[in-house]
Amino acid sequence: MKHPIGQTRNGIAVYVDLIQSRAAKHIAQQPHLLGLIAEALRQTTLRGANAMIEHDMGRAIGYNFVVKTAPTDGVFYAQLLREDTYTRFVKNGKPLSTQYLSMVLHRNSDDSYELNDAWIGRLSPARPGTADETAESKAYWADHAIILGNESLQLRTVTKVCPY
């Protein structure tokens, strides 16, 4: 289901799939994210096939749940429900207030853009093992993790051994 979000500063339409996309999961957990995305897009000029954007909203908009970890932190890996890629989690972390909104967009054949992912917090490389993995992914996720919250984990995949 394509849902129109708004237009960019250069007049390009942006849509999100509210059922299948990774952004849909974040929007379901934080519905106000749609308004923040629309606001950020109005100030953004999009060009190219893919765009990874970190937008400073100029005010606190929420909390970043991706934190830098120390060797003494209780870190583990698990697959989220309906995913086959492992995510690095930390049990006891404190989310930090942030004014950054991050977005990942891909241009469609009709020159509109589709929002694939969006979250409150700084831009970070894709998780290792995903289709969007970069050269920086493994190094970044070796010392960063998501603070465990209300994520639905596949319990049989929980491990303390790094799977990548």
Does residue 37 form part of some domain? yes
Residue 1 has pLDDT above 80, yes or no: no
What pLDDT, on the 0 to 100 scale, is given for residue 92? Answer: 85
pLDDT band at 132 (very low <50, low <70, confident <90, very high): confident
Question: For residues 150 and 123, what is the distance between their CA atoms, to the nearest angstrom?
Answer: 22
**DSSP 8-state symbol, 32:** T
Contact 80, 153 (CB under 8 A): yes
Instruction: Say which residue the tokens 């697959």 belong to.
Output: 79
What pLDDT, on the 0 to 100 scale, is given for residue 131? Answer: 86
Domain that includes residue 92, residue range = 2-157
Residue 63 has pLDDT above 90, yes or no: yes
Does residue 163 form part of some domain? no
Does residue 162 form part of some domain? no
Does residue 61 form part of some domain? yes
Does residue 17 form part of some domain? yes
What pLDDT, on the 0 to 100 scale, is given for residue 93? Answer: 87
Does residue 126 form part of some domain? yes
Does residue 34 form part of some domain? yes
Return the number of other C-beta atoms located less than 10 Å from residue 156's C-beta.
Answer: 8
Q: From residue 98, give the alpha-carbon distance in Å to each of 56, 65, 147, 149.
A: 9, 10, 15, 18
- If one compares 149 and 35, the residue with the highest pLDDT of the two is 35
The predicted-structure confidence for 36-59, as pLDDT tens digits, reads as follows 999 999 999 999 999 999 999 999
Residue 151 has pLDDT above 90, yes or no: no
What pLDDT, on the 0 to 100 scale, is given for residue 147? Answer: 96
Domain count, the chain: 1
What percentage of the chain carries pLDDT values higher than 70?
100
Q: What is the mean pLDDT of residues 24-40?
A: 94
Contact 40, 53 (CB under 8 A): yes
